[in-house]
Amino acid sequence: MIVGATWLMPVLSPRLMHIPDGFLSLVTAGMGWALSILVLAYAVARTNRQLGERQVPLMGVMGAFIFAAQMLNFPVAGGTSGHLIGGALAAILLGPWAGMLVMTSVVAIQALLFQDGGLVALGANILNMAVITCLVGYSTWIWLQRIIGDGAWKKMAGVFLAGWVSVFVASLACALQLSISGSSPLKIALPVIGGIYALIGIGEGLISVATMAFVTATRRDLAESRPRAKLGE
Amino acid sequence: MRNKTWWIAGLIIALALTIVSPLASRLPDGLERVAEDQGFMHLAWDSFYEIVPGYVPRGLHSQALANIVAGMIGVLIVFGLSFGVGYVLRVRRSDGETGQP
């Protein structure tokens, strides 16, 4: 099916939101590439101006951790599984622009080396899992900090919600792309995909909070550094 | 904890996570479930090529071991790539450190 050999089927499936080739029309996939390349070019420029020396190894560690965590599917309701995407987490710790580049590394290696997510669809997958999760997760995080404040528990509530919202919005983008491509009508894709990812988002939020708690406990400076890469600045 | 100790520990944690990857749920994930239920799974094409399809390197007969090996290879490559991107783009000025007094 996705990758020939049927005896490997249990692990050969397209995984969480990793769109395989064929699900998207060439026009939709092309739009995914165009949008991703535009935003990534801007992310490179911003990171080039703002990334501190000390954040370089953090980028490597975040990439490594998110790649590993994405292999760990957890069961959610209805015989479905999900796993961390990690975009909100990367954006909170590194800022949205460096975070986006880390997420792009993860998603690109998954597609190029492990055939997880299509090559034609890679632009759309980067758009959903790197660009949208980082921008939405980071905006939610900043917005919540302004509204509810940044005490220890409030901060963790913010991390949880940023994770949840990032996954939910990315899944809606995925549903939209599938429907534009004619694979699944929007009135079905949107509620079905949104519904599943509303559940998976809870796992995203919890894992993001656990990771943030670990970073805060071991390296408060990294958890609290305000990356200057704020949106719209 | 010093910066270098911390990121080496972080990398080790990521590598260690791959050891439990064979225990991960094999249930279809969100998108796959929808594609099956809505009947558009057949639209998926075969891959153009295969290097390590499905996180199972060729020649490894134990699927659990194969997952772990694939995971560790992936972790190291992604670490190198994202570290490399950061290294190339970093601000080299001494005052370029963010979050530093």
pLDDT band at B30 (very low <50, low <70, confident <90, very high): confident
The mean per-residue pLDDT over the stretch A109-131 comes to 94
pLDDT in tens, B47-88: 777 777 777 777 777 778 888 998 999 999 999 999 999 999
The mean per-residue pLDDT over the stretch A129-133 comes to 98
pLDDT of residue B1: 61
Count CB atoms within 10 A of the CB of residue A147. Answer: 9
Q: Which of residues 156-175 of A touch B (CB under 8 A)?
A: 171, 174
pLDDT band at B96 (very low <50, low <70, confident <90, very high): very low
pLDDT of residue B62: 79
Identify any residues that bridge with A82 across adjacent strands, giving them in sequence order.
Answer: A74
Q: Do A59 and B45 touch (CB under 8 A)?
A: no
Asked whether residue A227 carries a pLDDT value surpassing 60, the answer given is no
- Contacts with B13 from chain A: Cβ below 8 Å: 65
pLDDT of residue B93: 62
Nearest residue of chain A to residue B71 (CA atoms): A68
Sign of the dihedral defined by the CA atoms of residues B44, B47, B51, B57, in that order: positive
Give me the residue from A23, A44, A51 closest to B40, CB to CB: A23
The mean per-residue pLDDT over the stretch A64-80 comes to 90
ipTM exceeds 0.90, yes or no:
no
- Counting runs of H as helices and runs of E as strands, what totals does chain A give? 10, 2
- Contacts with B32 from chain A: Cβ below 8 Å: 13-15
pLDDT of residue A51: 93
Please give the mean pLDDT across all residues of chain A.
88
Asked whether residue A191 carries a pLDDT value surpassing 70, the answer given is yes
Q: Does A2 touch chain B (CB under 8 A)?
A: yes
- Contacts with A68 from chain B: Cβ below 8 Å: 14-15, 17-18, 21, 71, 74-75
User: Which of B71, B29, B99, B13 has its CA nearest to residue A92?
Assistant: B99
Give me the residue from B31, B32, B82 closest to A63, CB to CB: B82
pLDDT in tens, A105-117: 999 999 999 888 8
Return the CATH number of the domain spanning residue range A17-224: 1.10.1760.20
pLDDT of residue A149: 81
Least confident of B42-46, B62-66, B94-98: B94-98
Q: How far apart are CA A54 and CA A61, in angstroms?
A: 12
The mean per-residue pLDDT over the stretch A155-178 comes to 96
Q: Does A25 touch chain B (CB under 8 A)?
A: no
pLDDT in tens, A29-65: 999 999 999 999 999 999 999 999 889 999 999 999 9
Structural domain spans, chain A: 17-224
pLDDT band at A152 (very low <50, low <70, confident <90, very high): confident
Q: Do A48 and B24 touch (CB under 8 A)?
A: no
Q: Do B53 and A56 touch (CB under 8 A)?
A: no
The mean per-residue pLDDT over the stretch A160-182 comes to 96
Structural domain spans, chain B: 3-46+59-92
pLDDT in tens, A87-97: 999 999 999 99
**3-state class (DSSP) for residue A22:** coil
Contact predicate A117/A19, CB 8 Å: yes
pLDDT of residue A12: 37
Identify any residues that bridge with A74 across adjacent strands, giving them in sequence order.
Answer: A82
Q: Do A65 and B63 touch (CB under 8 A)?
A: no
Q: How far apart are CA B54 and CA A113, in angstroms?
A: 10
Asked whether residue B95 carries a pLDDT value surpassing 90, the answer given is no
Identify any residues that bridge with A81 across adjacent strands, giving them in sequence order.
Answer: A75, B29
- Contacts with A23 from chain B: Cβ below 8 Å: 35, 40, 43-44
Sequence letter at residue A17: M
